[in-house]
Amino acid sequence: MNRREYIRLQNLGIAALFSPHIETEWSWSPSVERLMGIDPPKLFGQEKTQLTRRAYKAFNRMKMAAWNDGIGIRTVSSYRSYADQKRIFERKFQAFTQEGDSGEDAIERIIEYSTLPGTSRHHWGTDIDIIQAGRTVDGDSLLEEHFEPGGAFAALKEWLDQNATDFDFYLVYTKDTNRKGFNYEPWHLSYAPESVSLLKNYLRKEVINRVLAQKVIGYDHLSEARLNRYLEEHLLGINPKLLP
C-alpha cells in the first residue's frame, strides 16, 4: 500500500468516527421500542414531512424532480408515533362499536386501512403519504378515485409510476389482486434502503408479540390467532420489493 492510499484510508476512518451515524442493516440493530414507534428515530423536516435523514434527503430529491416536471408534491402524513396510532385506533374502535359493530367486526373495519398501534410502517420514519399539490378535492384526499385517470391526482400517480423508484421509493400496498391485507393505497410510499432492513428486524425480534401486551381499547377482542394472521396478511402483504 502506498503512502497516499494509506492516508486516504486513515482519513476515511477518522471521518467515520465523527460523521452522523448511518443506519445500515449490518451495523445497526433498532430496539423494539424504536420499531414500535414508542422511541422515535431522529427525524428531519417539519410539520407533516418528518423522516429519517436518508429518507428525507431522498424525498426532497424526488420532490424537486417532480417539480421540474411540473408536478407538485404535498405531504399528508409521514412519521407517526405509537401514541398517535393508538389514538387513531381507539377512536375508530369506539365509533364503530357505538354504531353497533361487535368488537371483532370493528377491528376488521379498522384494519382495512389503519394499523394496530405498534405495527405501522409510519413508526419508522421511512414511509410517507402524499398527494398532488395545488389540487383540491371534496372530503378525504386519500381516496383511490383521486389517483385514477381523470382524478385530481392522476398526473402525480403517473409521474410516480415512472419515477419514484429512481429515488428508492416504492408503493407499499399495491393493486395486485392476489395481495392480502390492507387495501390499495396509491398515496403511500416507502424508502426501501431503510424500511426493508427495519421490517427484517421487526420480524427477527418478533415485535408482533409485544403488541398484545400493550393496553389498548379493543385489544381484548384481538386473539393471538388473529394477530398472527394480521402479521401474515397485513404486515407482509406488501410490494415484494419491500420484503426482506
Question: What kind and span of H or E run contains 104?
Answer: helix 103-110
Strand partners, 51: 44
pTM for this model (two decimals): 0.86
Residue 209 CA to residue 119 CA, distance in Å, equals 11
Please, which residues have CB within 8 angstroms of residue 218's CB and are 6 or more apart in sequence? 89, 90, 93, 97, 103, 106, 107
Q: Does position 138 have pLDDT exceeding 80, yes or no?
A: yes
For the chain, give every domain's residue range. 26-242
Q: What is the mean pLDDT of residues 92-103?
A: 97
Confidence of residue 28 (pLDDT cuts 50, 70, 90): low
pLDDT at 4: 42
Strand partners, 127: 190
Angle in degrees, CA 59, 62, 68, rounded to 5? 140
Residue 166 CA to residue 224 CA, distance in Å, equals 39
Average pLDDT along the chain:
89
pLDDT at 224: 87
Q: What is the mean pLDDT of residues 14-40?
A: 64
26-242: what fold?
A: Muramoyl-pentapeptide Carboxypeptidase; domain 2 (3.30.1380)
> Please, is 59 exposed, middle or buried when counting C-beta atoms within 10 Å of its C-beta (0-12, 13-18, 19+)?
buried
Report which DSSP code applies to 163.
H
Angle in degrees, CA 170, 211, 50, rounded to 5? 40
In contact, 114 and 88? CB cutoff 8 Å: yes
